[in-house]
Structure 1
């Protein structure tokens, strides 16, 4: 049954918000927080940068929030507007009031956010589960996207995830400690070393009960409905998905897609290789923006 996301206790919520605000205070560029009303509740969006052209909107990986982009926001917002929303139904500064029942509700929520921001089209990008969320929007509302980018899409984006992967995530969530979570993170994203502040947010997030549907593999028909120019970036050594299979399905079914796989890099694609990935992303969206092309 669809649910509304919630913390397990007031103490857990207070701990999370303290950690969230601590990370937010270190945001390296000028920004403004915007609360957008949607049919599913209020969505918190941080706006950074200023320039002409379609803005960038970034969606975080599972359980994440808009603050996870703080390491990259300086480069991404240098000559563009960048929106980094929290995900309604996940731990963050959104206030969910109605459940997200399915993928179509996710797309409806995102369109309501775009409407509330006054943006007709955006360059939508997501990392991991956020890549799947971005793909959902493209399936149902490609007309609202100037481009779609998936950074290391989740294991369920192009195929059913393996039982071994699911078991790893299940074990990580059982009796978690900072030490166990650091070990899990080292396996999942070896190029990302979490600060103590970031780890505090992770630990607090584990006490949040998600109100967002789980990702499911896109059908051939759904992939074919993604008519916006698309970029898929994989790490060749990822433990999350099969980049060869994902690339093949993307090439076969998405009408306009570019795919690139980075050797020696895993699911930590952005964190381990930002000097290549960020310019590749920015060049791609520039080539699909009428104001800049």
Structure 2
């Protein structure tokens, strides 16, 4: 993995941004875009909604960008400011200029992003690998978080990843085509049907050499350092990890944590159960907004 994220060619970059712009056009609420300088480069972030409490910051799954949240934004931004950054070191409009070496650097990047946005604290939420990134921030800078929400956290957040998952991920990225991407997605997220623009983004993103640390299970000590209130949500049928064992480890070591395992749902937890999960997230942030007010 290179130290600085980059596209494999100018053609690959152009293909990606054509697809990216098509998804961005689906954004359902008024928003503004901002470029925030950090020690690791400039981060592009979209601001949606308005509210007086701490904003919500959303981190996407592996290789994703801020646009992946478009299906949920109308509800999430109804009464609160929501920031959706393009993760530094992944394909998107953020421009990386320095390597991100470890979880401490991930936390520094997000903290500097909050500083640039003028946000003293935030409700940080991450999905899949974005949940691991959010957890890394909480390990080092819980003081900047009003709450932490981990949605279907990546395989290596709490436990060692399953070998079969790693093999399928490698195969999906080795010779990416729209058909292969749909097949891989239907295996891991069977109730989520990507539209043509989302498939095009996913395929084009494989031509970007990502430059962030890979997820590794947090140690007991790291989990104990997450002092902000945390919510961890799993799908019972997930192919990513053992949700019962992962939830047990979260409860054993994170000081203030709620866990829930949704029956009959897999890694596509948000997409498959939006009407239940989104209100749960908003209720959790509201409760901990009041607790720290």
| TM-score of the two chains, using structure 1 as the length reference | 0.98
CA distance in 1, matches of 2:83, 2:155: 25
Gaps of 5+ in 1: none
CA distance in 2, matches of 1:245, 1:261: 11
Match of 2:268 in 1: 268
1:23-62 matched pairs, under 5 angstroms = 23-62=23-62
Tell me, yes or no, if structure 1 residue 197 matches structure 2 residue 197: yes
CA distance in 2, matches of 1:29, 1:284: 23
Tell me, yes or no, if structure 1 residue 240 matches structure 2 residue 224: no
CA shift, 1:103, in A, is 1.1
> Which stretch has the larger CA shift, 63-72 or 171-180?
171-180
CA distance in 2, matches of 1:42, 1:72: 25
CA distance in 2, matches of 1:137, 1:197: 31
CA distance in 1, matches of 2:102, 2:12: 27
* 3-state SS of paired residue (2:147): strand
* 3-state SS of paired residue (1:267): coil
Match of 1:281 in 2: 281
Q: Which runs of 4+ in 1 moved over 6 A?
A: none
* 3-state SS of paired residue (2:119): coil
- Alpha-carbon RMSD across the aligned residues, in angstroms, is 1.2
Q: Is the 8 A contact 1:43 1:87 kept in 2?
A: yes
When residues 291 and 53 of structure 1 are mapped into structure 2, their CA distance, relative to the original with a 3 A threshold, is farther
Match of 1:96 in 2: 96
* 3-state SS of paired residue (1:290): helix
Match of 1:168 in 2: 168
CA shift, 1:291, in A, is 8.3
CA shift, 1:25, in A, is 1.5
Match of 2:208 in 1: 208
Match of 1:137 in 2: 137
Q: Is the 8 A contact 1:2 1:101 kept in 2?
A: no
| TM-score of the two chains, using structure 2 as the length reference | 0.98
